[in-house]
Structure 1
Amino acid sequence: MLRVDSTDPRSDARRPAELMTSLADHLSTGLVIVDPELTVQAWNRWMAEHAKLAPEEAIGRSLESLFPDLPAATLRRRVKAALQLRSPSYVHPRRGYLFPVPLDRVTESNFVYMQQRVRILPYQDEACRAIIVVDDVTATREAEARAAAAARASERYLELLDSNVMTLAVNASDGRVMRASSALLESTGWSAAAITGQSLQALGLGLLDALTEAADGTLPERPLRRANGKALWVRVRQARGLIEDEVGGERHLVIQDISLQKKIQTLSERDTLTGAYNRMKFDQLLQTALSAHERYGQCFSIALCDIDHFKRVNDEHGHLAGDAVLRQFAALLQAQTRASDALARWGGEEFVLLLPMTSVQAATTAAEKLRRAIVNDHWPVIDQLSASFGVAAHTPGESADALLDRADHALYQAKESGRNRVCTAEEPDTCPDRPRDGEHD
């Protein structure tokens, strides 16, 4: 089907060339031979099928007249350059195609017209003819477009994560921060420069290797230090699916803000006035201690404590002064006990201490230390304050109620004996009857 213009007076000299170029009809690419003014000299089968123009319709006419939207000026320059330099020239159509060939496909495409790669070659040794080669690169451009769209979507997804998920990239060897997400910086007040290089320990998260799930699947909870020094309670997970070697020795931590949960938990567990545990929470801790004793044989003791003559404080100085005394009293007890001990407000001016791994002798000594600290402390508004203590050590098989009953009886004895003292409970089944649930004033 490839036709060469036979009206050209030089066409007889080109019969061998015409026979040779007839092979172009079997190519799966477009082939057009033009002169420097873009007049068509030859038009192969591929062009006829895709451009919907038979050779007799195209040959002898200019490409500009056949395709009015053709960038004719650019194409002429490229043709002349190829002929003058005797080397290939390339055209990169701004729209992605030179000849508008509509796509006729069942599958969806990003393009309306066939995407083309266009090369211009000098025709043999002639200075008056050039070959325009048109390759269909639609599949390649579609793949590139899909890859670009996927890259943009991935970038948007990463931006979304960065803005909404708190993450830390840390050095796998020393646990120092390498990068932090925008969400984490916003929540903590750190700047990117200030947090970079910080150790996890300095941030309150502890050692990197310790940030692993527990056997029951629970994640570690840590007080992440904000830029202003305050803590933001978070739950930490090491990101899965990342191979350390592939990310340059980094590990990635995903951090969840649980400060609201902690606040709700605190409200459910703590006495709102003093900050000590409430009675319900103490009951849970006591049951845990009983279970630990039953399973592992761990001893523990409790100490009930009651402020002496507290009613006078309220009567003489008012309830606001009484509240201030209760807060100071709880803070003193908390400061004078171990981190493993648990302090709870038992009711009114009465408090209770759970002392793990503590014998009755050690518990009595600890209570005596607290009693002296209370007496020696400075109490605004009131000149002096004292408290009475009842101490009891848990015995094998003893229930929580029985243990508390013995400690309460010892406290009653301290009150009856003149207050401002520590009394130790007797062994089970030796305590005489005494009033229950009375006021220890």
Structure 2
Amino acid sequence: MSTSSPIALINARLLDPASGGEIRGGVLAENGCIVGVGADVTKANVGARTKAIDCGGDIVCPGLIDMCAFIGEPGASHRETIATASRAAAAGGVTTIVATPNTNPPVDGAAVVDYLMRRARDTAKVRILPCAALTKGLAGGEIAEIGLLKEAGAIAFSNGPASVVSSQVMRRAMTYARDFGAVIIHRSEDPELARAGVMNEGEFASRLGLPGIPREAEAIMIDRDMRLVALTLAGNAGGAHYHAQLVTTTLSLDIIAKAKAVGLPVSCATSINHLSLNETDVGDYRTFLKLSPPLRTEEERLALVEALASGLIDVIVSDHNPQDVEAKRVPFSEAEYGAIGLETMLPAGLRLVQAGHVPLARLIASMTLRPAEILGLPQGRLQKGAPADLIRFDPEEPFVVDPARLQSRSKNTPFDEARMEGVVKLTMVAGAIV
């Protein structure tokens, strides 16, 4: 991915998520790294051998890091491949994807991690980081070989879309994570409470005649996990960390807030869908908005936005989950869960900025710096010596989401024909324009 030819992005609004500051200037990239940043990076100063790109006042910031995306390989290349996912990511300004382990076979062995890394090296435009299975076969019974998987290149450990139901298994997994300094990314939902439902439980679900999933299904499992973190990870100095993959209710936010207040090593994310949409957007049984967790009420959505602005929610993810036509063009209760999101995560997030709900620096930090800090990555910073993973975008340029023009192999976007602002004009990975 790297290139020895220096490239300078000049005449830009430089947004550094670490400081939250914004200045006018440029970024100079060479040999895969940022070697200059600031007001003195101009066409006159970078030298004749440097390719200078005038950004015309567009924003330049670190490339986005998506901590939750399904990429299809191995076993579901009809839905997405590493190549198509990485093209979609590059189009949306995402330079690093954390790939979920729920493939076929699951990412529960060193050989599968190695396969993903080799396929990414050969076919990906952006960085693909494998998230390995927390339990063998994602079955929730036997802990996977965390040490061997981490040594093979796994960036974190998750049980995919399913929770680890057994508290004893989860406690043991956290103990191993502590011993190996590993990050656990857990999807928290009580499967018994959620099993019969297909959307958020409440008045709107009743009107549609659809069975609901109560908020408590998420909160009960989050509460259990926080107690297990206190039991196993509290006070550890080895880098072990618990990250709630998706929080979507005020009940969960209250639990996370209390855990953070006592210093537990925890963080959380929510999806751009839950920040942008609510249960009424399901409308007349729109299956592209059948998501897991389900879209909540407008009051819950606004609470999530407020929690993002305050920093209680650390990270925004796309929750990219491509599904083919046959899985979505069916009755709502029979449709598969999921929506694509790599290409719309940034512009959908910019809606929150344009509405005055979230500062731009906070939005960008939740997609760059905070994921990098949680995963221990050098990316996500606009500083000398950092990897030259950069994007240039115009936050005010309008466009209409056309599924036919999206790079993802599947087209199940919840923002079909939506009017948005925020066009990514350039994506750079390790100093190379992709």
TM-score under structure 2 length normalisation = 0.18
User: Who wins on radius of gyration, i.e. which is larger?
Assistant: 1
Q: Identify which of structures 1 and 2 has the higher relative contact order when contacts are C-alpha pairs closer than 8 Å and 6+ apart.
A: 2
TM-score under structure 1 length normalisation = 0.18
